[in-house]
Structure 1
Amino acid sequence: MRSAAVIGTGLIGTSVALALTGQGVTTYLVDRDPEAARTAAALGAGLAATPRAPVDLAVVAVPPAHTASVLKEYQDIGLARFFTDVASVKTRPLMDAASAGCDLTAYVGGHPMAGRELSGPLAARADLFHGRTWVLTPSAFSRAEALHHATELIELCGGRPVIMGHAEHDRAVALTSHAPHMVASLLAGRLLGAETAQLRLVGKGLRDATRIAAGDAALWADIIGSNAGPVGRVLTELAEELCAVVAALRELDDSAAGPRGKGAAELLAALARGEEGRSRIVDAERPADATQAAR
């Protein structure tokens, strides 16, 4: 890949541009906000300009609800030979792109599994994607050459390409990213009514549990709303478990109640499930041979 364009110079878009420029790829920066593009250019992410001839690949780095319309706009003016995106939802953008009449043969959806709770070009890092999974979701219409360019992009950014189906991806991120963000936001929201003396007791546990709640609210409303069905199903199951825990706590708090074994057992079971589930993340991060040896 010799040339690329990044449309949208926020955290992810500028990080992609920094990585590409660092690999010697001529990279153009396009943004609705010219100041954002100029800021990214000042950081060394590329040229704040529209290329005069089609580049090899354009990366659409805008929120999911706008991905299809931006893809259509820049395909129509011939910005690039091939296109990908970095939206964290894949089914809706593909459906919108098909409805908008986009050229799906030149497009492969993508989602780098990396980010920060900060936003904007000033938060960007050239090494943001090093060693991180980057999902590609080619459709039935995607040409092999389009997939090749999207894969090359990931390799230039230091990521690890993984192919998934659109619905499979959206179910996965609903569980591993979108629902956790919603839960973190709800938990952090409880602090709005806290007394100053209570907030002085905040430790690392609560800071870790609510860190992602610092993400841009408007962006995350777009992301979660664009994946509403899968996220809603995860949160429904969570709500059912939460109700069971609340019932157990009420039983334990009722001094007039008889034996409290059921409530204690329910509480212990919920905490044990959490302990076991957390260990699965650690196991999944280990190399296959190390995981087998640990067992």
Structure 2
Amino acid sequence: MRSALVIGTGLIGTSAALALTRRGVTVHLADHDPQQARTAAALGAGTDEAPAGPVDLAVVAAPPAHVAGVLADALRGRLARGYIDVASVKGGPRRELETLGLDLSAYLGTHPMSGREKSGPLAATADLFEGRPWVLTPTRATDTEVLNLALELVSFCGAVPVVMDADAHDRAVALVSHMPHLVSGLVAARLEHADEAAVRLCGQGIRDVTRIAASDPAMWIDILSANPGPVADLLGDVAADLEQTVRALRALQSADEDKRQEGAAGVADVLRRGNAGQVRVPGKHGSAPRVYETVVVLIDDQPGQLARIFADAGRAGVNIEDVRIEHATGQQAGLVQLMVEPQAAPALTAALRERGWAIRR
């Protein structure tokens, strides 16, 4: 691949353009908002000048509702040898293109499973896709050259290619992305008018659950509008579980011991099923989930503290498998949770204590 045209210079499009430019590909940028394309160009993602002729690959990074229209114009204009889109929904856009009677042998639907709570070119980064799955949805009609170009793009972006059927992809992202986003928003909405005294008690748990609720609503309306059926089906299942759980909690308030026991069993059931689902979430590097020991360290909110603690762990010969930070409310301090192999926890604890760190249970 020597040249590319990125149509749509938001977070995903600009990030892909930055990755391609870094690998020496000549990237042309286009957007319905010329200022946004100029911003992406100023960031080093390419040039906002139109290509003189067909490029090797056109990457359509428009919202799902507009993907088919943008692709149709690009195909009719013969802007490239191959065409892909990076929208989060795959079945609908392809069916729209099929109804237009276009030759889709040069088109391949794709979806990089990566993003941020922020949108726009200023949030873009060349390493956004590093180590992340990038779904490809070829059909029997897909030209091999286009598939190879798409694989080259995925490689340049440092992502991991995953081949799926388009409709299976849409059901999958409804489960692992679209439905969880709405549930996160529903939980966060409870905080909007909550008492300030209650909000000040927020800990890491509520931060984890509501983190993705900070995303741009307009962007998510576009996404959900393109995949409403599978998301609604899943939310219907969640609603049924919620209704059952509400009944179980009400039963726990009963004066009748049998009803309380029934309520406890109902709550335990949903918690057990939650445990069973959570352990299926892939662990480090996509491997099977591992059980780590957590060493909790109190740190001050000072420059270099994290670097020191990681360096001290390295001197102890301990690999940090994962890390989380829980910020203390109203204090210039926090708790760093260092996840390590169980057999390494005692050595790490002893080494950190020796170097003056305050270990918490």
TM-score normalized with structure 1 length? 0.94
Provide the rounded CA distance (Å) in 2 between the counterparts of 1:93 and 1:139: 14
Q: Specify the code of the residue in structure 1 equivalent to 2:55.
A: V
Counterpart position of 2:212: 212
Counterpart position of 1:277: 277
Are the equivalent residues in 2 in contact too, given 1:68–1:100 (CA < 8 A)? Answer: no
Deviations 1:138-192 (A, max 9, x none): 1232111111111111011111111100111011111000100111111111212
Counterpart position of 1:185: 185
Are the equivalent residues in 1 in contact too, given 2:67–2:93 (CA < 8 A)? Answer: yes
The Cα shift of 1:289 comes to 12
Going from structure 1 to structure 2, the CA distance change for 1:145 and 1:239 (only over 3 Å counts) comes to same
Counterpart position of 1:81: 81
Moved more, 122-131 or 216-225: 216-225
Counterpart position of 2:32: 32
Are the equivalent residues in 1 in contact too, given 2:27–2:46 (CA < 8 A)? Answer: yes
Q: Specify the code of the residue in structure 2 equivalent to 1:205.
A: G
Provide the rounded CA distance (Å) in 1 between the counterparts of 2:289 and 2:171: 28
- Tell me the number of residue pairs that the alignment of Structure 1 and Structure 2 aligns: 290
Counterpart position of 1:102: 102
Provide the rounded CA distance (Å) in 2 between the counterparts of 1:84 and 1:59: 5
Counterpart check, 1:66 vs 2:93:
no
- 5 Å matches for 1:154-193? 154-193=154-193
Are the equivalent residues in 1 in contact too, given 2:280–2:289 (CA < 8 A)? Answer: no
SS of match in other structure, 2:28: strand
The Cα shift of 1:125 comes to 0.8
Provide the rounded CA distance (Å) in 2 between the counterparts of 1:100 and 1:219: 26
The Cα shift of 1:100 comes to 2.6
- 5 Å matches for 1:106-255? 106-254=106-254
TM-score normalized with structure 2 length? 0.77
The Cα shift of 1:288 comes to 6.6
Counterpart check, 1:257 vs 2:272:
no
Runs of 5+ in structure 1 lacking a partner? none
Moved more, 186-195 or 279-288: 279-288
The Cα shift of 1:283 comes to 5.1
Deviations 1:118-138 (A, max 9, x none): 100000010011111100001
Provide the rounded CA distance (Å) in 2 between the counterparts of 1:286 and 1:12: 22
Deviations 1:96-123 (A, max 9, x none): 1112333311100000011001100000
Q: How large is the Cα RMSD of the aligned pairs? A: 1.7
Runs of 4+ in 1 over 2 A off after TM superposition: 100-103, 256-259, 282-291
Provide the rounded CA distance (Å) in 2 between the counterparts of 1:121 and 1:161: 24
Are the equivalent residues in 2 in contact too, given 1:71–1:102 (CA < 8 A)? Answer: no
Provide the rounded CA distance (Å) in 2 between the counterparts of 1:201 and 1:3: 52
Counterpart position of 2:333: none
Are the equivalent residues in 1 in contact too, given 2:29–2:48 (CA < 8 A)? Answer: yes
Provide the rounded CA distance (Å) in 2 between the counterparts of 1:123 and 1:204: 24
Provide the rounded CA distance (Å) in 2 between the counterparts of 1:209 and 1:289: 20
Provide the rounded CA distance (Å) in 2 between the counterparts of 1:164 and 1:195: 46
Counterpart position of 1:21: 21
Task: Please identify the structure whose Cα radius of gyration is greater.
Answer: 2
Going from structure 1 to structure 2, the CA distance change for 1:186 and 1:69 (only over 3 Å counts) comes to same
SS of match in other structure, 2:280: helix
Moved more, 118-127 or 141-150: 141-150
Identity level (%): 54
SS of match in other structure, 1:205: helix
Q: Specify the code of the residue in structure 1 equivalent to 2:107.
A: Y
The Cα shift of 1:258 comes to 3.5
User: Greater strand percent: which structure?
Assistant: 2
Provide the rounded CA distance (Å) in 1 between the counterparts of 2:169 and 2:224: 14
Moved more, 11-20 or 223-232: 223-232
Of structures 1 and 2, the one with the larger relative CO (CA 8 A, separation 6+) is 1
User: Greater helix percent: which structure?
Assistant: 1
Provide the rounded CA distance (Å) in 1 between the counterparts of 2:265 and 2:112: 40
The Cα shift of 1:207 comes to 1.3
Provide the rounded CA distance (Å) in 2 between the counterparts of 1:7 and 1:186: 33
Are the equivalent residues in 1 in contact too, given 2:281–2:289 (CA < 8 A)? Answer: no
Provide the rounded CA distance (Å) in 2 between the counterparts of 1:192 and 1:109: 38
Going from structure 1 to structure 2, the CA distance change for 1:165 and 1:264 (only over 3 Å counts) comes to same
